[in-house]
Amino acid sequence: MMGYDINTNVPVFSRIFEGGKLDKTSIQDVFVQYEFKDTLFIVDRGFYSKKNIDLMSSNGNKYIIPLSPNLNDYKEAVKDLNLNKSFVYSKNKEEGIIQYKEIVEDNRRIIVYRDYKENSAKCNDYLINLADGKKGFSQEEFEKVKDYFGLIVIQTNCMDKSVEEIYCLYKKRWKIETFFNYFKNTSNIESLYEQNYYELQGMSFIMLIYGLIHSEMKKAVSKQKGKNINDCLIEGRYVKIHKSNGKWSMYNVKKERKKFLDSLNVDPNEVPNIK
């Protein structure tokens, strides 16, 4: 489990749990180890439980969580899908219309959102498959599901934020999805299997430090045109730093490569002395 700050784009905590442990119980262990105050949690629907909602509401904390279709609150919220209010959501120079309705009760809000563009695209795909005579597609089934395409139901106790702000905050959750995907599919961290409890906790700490380094590297590389992290690491392998007279210095480094290191904010004189 990884906690990630969507504002600074850095991980803030890391814990390793047994594979068979439910997400909703794992988060309770995190609250035992760390103290959270005035924190906004944007979490996946797998963390939903009454106890977790209470934890994420205590000590001035707030939460934003999507509801699973099997929950009664979800079913009640989507009985009427006449979403007659809307706003424009912008991301990466693209804009889309988000339809919504809101239910407020007991110091919580349940907001039903529907991405009009996604809904239209999925309706179109369904009708194409229907016209092609593919199995599993029927006009009767289409009438049942068409209003649910692009739909998401959010529960939150953020009473001071607009419906649009809640949606924008939830969409930022994608940052941790891409970050976690890097850990699982690129870093190969899962190959370092451990069984010992204490070694697992050490591995959890290493993952956090690794994540912090990756975050800083990603931030620096974002300023490099046409280069990704791997390109920069390969370029950096050609640079040798030597210690002479108590100071770290670079020797025989091309001017272009020195300029490249400066752009990454790398200063050999800041290398710490490690005994």
pLDDT tens for residues 39-83? Answer: 999 998 888 999 999 999 999 999 999 999 999 999 999 999 999
User: In the chain, how many domains are there?
Assistant: 2
38 and 19 housed in the same domain = yes
Average pLDDT over residues 21-44: 82
127 and 235 housed in the same domain = no
Is the pLDDT reported for residue 185 higher than 70?
no
Average pLDDT over residues 139-150: 94
Number of neighbours of residue 194 by Cβ within 10 angstroms: 13
Q: End of a domain among 124, 155, 185?
A: 185
Residue 191 included in any domain? no
10 and 95 housed in the same domain = yes
Quick one: tokens of 222? 């974002």
Where are the alpha helices (H) located in the chain, listed in sequence order? 23-33, 50-55, 72-77, 116-131, 139-145, 163-171, 174-185, 197-221, 229-236, 255-263
Handedness of CA 217, 220, 224, 226 (dihedral sign): positive
Q: End of a domain among 159, 185, 211?
A: 185
Q: End of a domain among 185, 206, 237?
A: 185
Q: Which whole-number Å values give the CA distances from 155 to 5, 49, 135, 262, in the listed order?
A: 20, 12, 36, 46
Nearest to 10 by CA among 211, 207, 187: 211
Q: Are 38 and 60 in contact (CB under 8 A)?
A: yes
Residue 212 included in any domain? yes
Residue 30 included in any domain? yes
What is the structure's pLDDT at 19?
64
218 and 134 housed in the same domain = no
Q: Name the more confident of 173 and 108.
A: 108
| 3 state SS of 199 | helix
- Domain with 10 in it: 2-185
Q: Are 103 and 74 in contact (CB under 8 A)?
A: no
pTM of the model: 0.68
Q: Between 197-221 and 174-185, two packed helices, what is the crossing angle to 10 degrees?
A: 120
Average pLDDT over residues 146-172: 94
Q: Are 149 and 125 in contact (CB under 8 A)?
A: no
Average pLDDT over residues 72-97: 92
27 and 63 housed in the same domain = yes
Give per-residue pLDDT as tens, 195-225: 666 777 777 787 788 778 878 888 888 877 8
180 and 201 housed in the same domain = no
100 and 35 housed in the same domain = yes
Number of neighbours of residue 45 by Cβ within 10 angstroms: 19
Residue 128 included in any domain? yes
Residue 190 included in any domain? no
Q: Are 265 and 220 in contact (CB under 8 A)?
A: yes
Residue 227 included in any domain? yes
What is the structure's pLDDT at 183?
65
Quick one: tokens of 101? 């309705």
What is the structure's pLDDT at 275?
46
Q: Tokens 């430090």: give the residue.
A: 209
Average model confidence (pLDDT) for the chain? 84
Q: What percent of the chain has pLDDT over 70?
A: 86
174 and 232 housed in the same domain = no
Backbone dihedral angles phi then psi of residue 186, each to the nearest 5 degrees: -120, -45
Number of neighbours of residue 52 by Cβ within 10 angstroms: 21
137 and 237 housed in the same domain = no
Which of 117-126, 155-164, 259-268 has the weakest average pLDDT? 259-268
Residue 33 included in any domain? yes
124 and 29 housed in the same domain = yes
30 and 141 housed in the same domain = yes
157 and 136 housed in the same domain = yes
Is the pLDDT reported for residue 97 higher than 80?
yes
Residue 275 included in any domain? no
Is the pLDDT reported for residue 21 higher than 70?
no
Q: Which of 40-54, 153-167, 202-216, 231-245 has the highest mean pLDDT?
A: 153-167
